[in-house]
Amino acid sequence: MSGAGIRIEGLRKRYGSGDTAVDALKQVDMSVAPGEVVGLIGPSGSGKSTLLKCLGAVIEPTAGRMMLGEHTIYDDGWRVRDLRALRRDRIGFVFQAPYLIPFLDVTDNVALPPMLAGVPNAEARRRALGLLDALEVRHRAAAMPAQLSGGEQQRVAIARGLVNRPPVILADEPTAPLDSARALAVIRILNEMARRYRTAVIVVTHDEKIIPTFARIYHIRDGVTQEERGEGRSIG
Ligand SMILES: Nc1ncnc2c1ncn2[C@@H]1O[C@H](COP(=O)(O)OP(=O)(O)O)[C@@H](O)[C@H]1O
Ligand SMILES: [Mg+2]
């Protein structure tokens, strides 16, 4: 399924029911080609996190369709038997707050996902160190998470989201705590990963520094998406 790309059609999500129901997603249509990085932008409460959680099979949509490559994963109901395996093997999450494991050092935090997927320890650690290097935190490889700055923790969390080379990466405000140079470095790495491994990447962001780097942007407002051409400005 590597190099799969994403297609979403008519996706809807309602939280709750009756008088207190919230229609968080009303009409979401989106496609991300293998190797493409798209931005997802919208005001607070517009449905961005809900959309990423549906796509990441963390919550169940109410209606519509989601495809990974040729595989239908949701069509008015899940079409995948093992959702946990889908999340573990196909989706890389990069969350706003970095959830690192406090009793593992930086290298092991990043090496853990490939180890869990059966990659030999030495190879998993090699991959981890390569990504830590690219994200400019290799010098912290032996540190514990609590010893890192917020920006360092975020870069380690990003390395962990990328390390299994999933065909889909979902990033929720990945550059929020980073300075301009490091934010652009993160976007450069996401673009490199996307190109090299044919990954489809969705980046939720408000970050003015990185918005000009997207070739395509989806705006979401009140649970409805709309596509727009971006500037696709080179990030060297
Ligand atoms: N678990 C939940 N139960 C009920 N309503 C929710 C839940 N999560 C989010 N919402 C509502 O759904 C809407 C979209 O939320 P969210 O996807 O978090 O937006 P964003 O990430 O764009 O800020 C908001 O009105 C929010 O209050
Ligand atoms: Mg959100």
What's the pLDDT tens digit per position in 132-143? 998 889 999 999
Q: Based on the structure, what is the number of domains in the chain? A: 1
Measuring from each residue's beta carbon to the nearest atom of ligand 1, which residues come in under 6 Å? 15-16, 22, 24, 42, 44-50
Instruction: Output the pTM of the full model.
Output: 0.88
Residue 235 has pLDDT above 80, yes or no: no
Tell whether the model's pLDDT for residue 52 goes beyond 50.
yes
Share above pLDDT 90 across residues of the chain, in percent, rounded to a whole number: 65
User: Which one has a higher pLDDT value, 92 or 15?
Assistant: 15
pLDDT score of 4: 80
Confidence of residue 203 (pLDDT cuts 50, 70, 90): very high
Assigned domain for 98 exists? yes
Cα(64)–Cα(100) distance, integer angstroms: 33
Closest CA to 134 of 215, 196, 198: 196
| Residue with CA at minimum distance from ligand 1 atom 2 | 15
Among 7-16, 20-29, 90-99, 134-143, the least confident range: 90-99
Q: Which residues span the domain enclosing 116? A: 32-59+82-229
Q: What is the pLDDT of residue 1?
A: 47
CA 48 to chain centre: 12
C-alpha to C-alpha distance for 141 and 160, rounded to whole angstroms: 13
The pLDDT tens digits of the residues spanning 140-176 come to 999 999 999 988 998 899 899 889 889 999 999 888 8
Residue nearest to atom 8 of ligand 1 (CA): 50
CA dist list (Å): 128 to 16, 74, 120, 133, 170? 41, 32, 12, 9, 19
- Specify which of 19-28, 112-121, 171-180 reaches the highest per-range mean pLDDT: 19-28
- Which ligand sits closest to the CA of 50? 1
Cα-to-chain-centroid distance, residue 115: 20
Nearest CA-CA partner of 128 in 144, 107, 148:
107
pLDDT bin (cut points 50, 70, 90) of residue 96 is low
Q: Which residues are within 8 A (CB) of 156 and not within 5 positions of it... i.e. 6 or more apart?
A: 98, 100, 106, 109, 110, 132, 135, 137, 140, 145, 148
Report the alpha-carbon distance of residue 234 to residue 112 in Å, rounded. 33
Which of the pair, 113 or 74, is modelled with greater confidence?
A: 74
For residue 10, tell me if it sits in a domain. Answer: no
22: in domain:
no
pLDDT of residue 177 exceeding 90, the answer is no
Atom of ligand 1 nearest to the CA of 47: 17
In a domain, 196, yes or no: yes
Dist. CA 173 → ligand 2 center (Å)? 8
Out of 34-43, 170-179, 194-203, 219-228, least confident range = 170-179
**Between residues 1 and 137, the one the model is more confident about:** 137
Q: How far apart are CA 56 and CA 165, in angstroms?
A: 15
Give the CATH number for residue 105.
3.40.50.300
Question: Does residue 11 lie in a domain region?
Answer: no
Does residue 73 register a pLDDT over 60?
yes
Pairing of strands 6-15, 63-68: antiparallel
Phi, psi angle pair for 76, to nearest 5°: 50, 40
Q: What spacing in Å lies between the alpha carbon of 132 and ligand 2's midpoint?
A: 26
Within a domain: 217 = yes
Ligand nearest the Cα of residue 95 is: 2
Distance (angstroms) between ligand 2 centre and the Cα of 45 equals: 7
**Ligand 1 atom at shortest distance from the alpha carbon of 223:** 14
Q: Compute, in angstroms, the gap from residue 20 CA to the centroid of ligand 1.
A: 13
**Ligand nearest to C-alpha 176:** 2
> 64 lies in a domain?
no
Is 209 contained in some domain? yes
